[in-house]
Structure 1
């Protein structure tokens, strides 16, 4: 369909007298034999179906049309071009459209709405404008990567209203072949995005709901006391290295690396004993106030003497460090640490709290967890202390057990 045809369809059609003349039964022979007008266009109407006809332009192009009245308006809709549409096919479509009109619907309005319906790419653009800025910097990078490398290459042109569970499930299975964990994160992102689309009245259901996630094995890698000693020893040899100091800071605070990268002096109290992380740097987007140890305070005092930047861990330009991957790899190699991620320092911090008798609520407060189930992953680390407690109870119970009958008779 040409742009000119669409423009013609969208205007009100008011020439009712024209529909009352030039009427004949449309057949393949009649349609083939219709000649083009010298200029403009002409319509040959069908004598059996009201408003159904064939439009012929001066260039010889032919298309089936339907004129109808709805809500007091005369409308014209182009069904399709000839010979792509046969007379029989166009007639059946015109009959369907007529039934729609009889029900009070406007087929042309419905078609226009469908053409203008937002696509997955439209959702991406609005997500980036309105929702992405509410997330942490790291989450923004991850979201954009999944959108641009996984979702959009497959679904960008898909209308949201036409999106199905099968579309989402197929994409998840395709990504799962090479990146099963990332495939799960992608579906979580899709579910959130489609929920937003529901809120914006762009779609009525969430087609990503029900996609079955791939099994994930939670990492539980904690540094042993010996590994911690070796790591600190190699860090001590790089005391003037800002990235090494940041890694030491991670070990002694259990914070997320993004929080450390964005740490500024105005987030700490005057004597550097309390760290108040702004909501913009935390994963939960909530203010997190937490005391720090005397070791961290000493580290901060040394950093404050060594830098004039507003950031605690700044590079040569005064801007915050953005990555310490190379330094971490070097430290692990020199400390003989195997299969340890930077994030495992956070797990290690939590494990040390648990093994030294701190409660789960305390651990959650130190780590900035907003949900108790997040901290619950460390519950098994209390097994030793709980076992000791169970033994204490057993000993106390046994010490208060009444003497047996045999013992009583012996005394008599």
Structure 2
């Protein structure tokens, strides 16, 4: 340890005045100074007390404290006493430097974890999930985004800011109590599904490299697995009635009446509805994304990109076009853009609400003409196509290929190479014939619901 000196205030002042281009340590030879105790003077003249010792086979140097007056500094006498206590710990097998470093690391880790929790709240988790849906080509991201904004990030910023790995069922239950009280059980069910799906996706980040967007959340379990939205009897009865209503489809006579109305409409909306029906009532979300690149004018087909379900890559769903569907397509197309399913001459794709409004107008006209007793939607027309083709003897397999049902299995993805073009065209011709069968004589009998 070199030469030992009598450490005094005068000695320290002298060494500070002599501070050179390197740090220097001077060891104390005072009778009360423990072995290895000294004072360190830096190049800048800063002074602190140190203690050299051996631990684990190597020499270490622990800082005892800064030289100066209390409360932030130590006098020489106080530093010797403190160093003596450290020496007793060392003799008992302790390692002050290691303990200090461990405490510093723990403090830093605590700060880092606190910062992580601030950055990875529930709102951030849902934002990452929404981006995940976007990157996977899932149009449902819009519904998720809207629901989270309405019920979490907008009205409950504290809940949104809570660290995602600390959220419990108790934290989110007030949201669901509010929805249940308002009778919005279906909205509550959807929100529950979104939250649970986000946690499931984040949990996969531990084992799936593709889920890197969720890494910082450190989700090890889904805390919302026990979250439930039960339906009381009244709500259950209402849900059952709604499910029954959802299965309702137009009769053959009503379908023919609908065709008569849209066939007589020579506007772009009429062409839109004819194209929608004559392609089999395809999902509007997919039709709205159609561009000129998806149209094969030689084969007379369109290619829809089906992202429904858990598909990571969109399934290419090819739909053949009857001559009247091609004619309707030509009526919609214009010179303002590349979109095919449009009422703006190609500038934009027609969204669901646009189609819904057009269908509602036709339904209102049919109700006024006593051709039907209730309004219907584009979804009703899709069910109608399925139901009427089923009744006409079109096989379930052909209907599945026409309407893109259940095409994500191993057999469909890897083994079935037949494109079913002939069968799909035959089914669409049968649909077109059904539209004509009872529209000429006007003999349309509405089906009345029981009061």
Report the TM-score, using the length of structure 2 for normalisation: 0.56
User: How many aligned residue pairs are there?
Assistant: 295
Q: CA deviation at 1:169?
A: 4.4
Give the Cα–Cα distance (whole angstroms) in 2 for the partners of residues 277 and 245 of structure 1. 19
> Structure 1 stretch 272-281 or stretch 174-183: which is displaced more?
272-281
Of the candidates 366, 379, 397, which is equivalent to residue 402 of structure 2? Answer: 366
Instruction: Provide, for residues 108-130 of structure 1, a one-character-per-residue CA deviation record: whole Å limited to 9, x for no partner.
Output: 52354134221112223333444
**Residue ranges of structure 1 left out of the alignment (5+ in a row):** 1-13, 23-35, 52-67, 77-104, 374-412
For 2:126, the equivalent position in structure 1 comes to: 124
Kindly indicate whether residue 198 of structure 2 is the aligned counterpart of residue 193 of structure 1. yes
> Between Structure 1 and Structure 2, whose CA radius of gyration is higher?
2
Higher-RCO chain (CA-CA 8 Å, sequence separation at least 6): 2
**Aligned runs of 1:246-325 on 2, under 5 Å?**
246-252=272-278, 253-271=280-298, 273-279=300-306, 285-303=314-332, 309-314=337-342, 315-316=344-345, 318-322=347-351, 323-325=354-356
Contact 1:169 1:208 (C-alpha < 8 Å) held by counterparts: no
Q: Would the aligned equivalents of 1:250 and 1:345 in 2 still touch at CA under 8 Å? A: no
Structure 1 SS opposite 2:296: coil
Judged with a 3 Å threshold, the aligned counterparts in structure 2 of structure 1 residues 157 and 340 are, in CA distance, closer, same or farther, namely: same
Rate the CA distance shift 1:330–1:214 in 2: closer, same or farther, 3 A: farther
Residues 361/146 of structure 1: CA separation in 2 closer, same or farther (3 Å cut): same
Task: State the alpha-carbon separation in 1 of the partners of residues 253 and 73 from structure 2.
Answer: 89
SS at match of 2:318: strand
Which residue is equivalent to 2:433? none
Per-residue Cα deviation, 1:54-102 (whole angstroms, up to 9, x for no partner):
xxxxxxxxxxxxxx865661646xxxxxxxxxxxxxxxxxxxxxxxxxx
Shift in alpha-carbon separation, 1:109–1:326, aligned structure 2, 3 A: same
Consecutive unaligned residues in structure 2, runs of 5 or more: 1-60, 87-95, 206-213, 232-238, 410-451
Deviation at 1:277, TM superposition (A): 1.3
Q: 1:248 to 1:75 in 2, by over 3 A?
A: same
2:249–2:380 CA contact under 8 A, matched in 1? yes
Call closer, same or farther: CA 1:197–1:276 in 2, change over 3 Å.
same
Whether 1:342 and 2:373 are equivalent positions in the alignment is no
Q: Aligned partners of 1:272 and 1:302: how far apart in 2? A: 19
Distance 1:41 1:371 in 2: 76
Secondary structure, in 3 states, of the residue corresponding to 1:278? Answer: strand
**Counterparts of residues 3-402 of structure 1 (less than 5 Å):** 16-18=63-65, 73=101, 75=103, 106=106, 109-110=109-110, 112-117=112-117, 118-137=120-139, 139-152=140-153, 153-154=155-156, 155-178=159-182, 179-198=184-203, 199=205, 200-201=214-215, 202=217, 203-214=219-230, 216-217=239-240, 218=243, 219-240=246-267, 242-252=268-278, 253-271=280-298, 273-279=300-306, 285-303=314-332, 309-314=337-342, 315-316=344-345, 318-322=347-351, 323-336=354-367, 337=372, 338-370=374-406
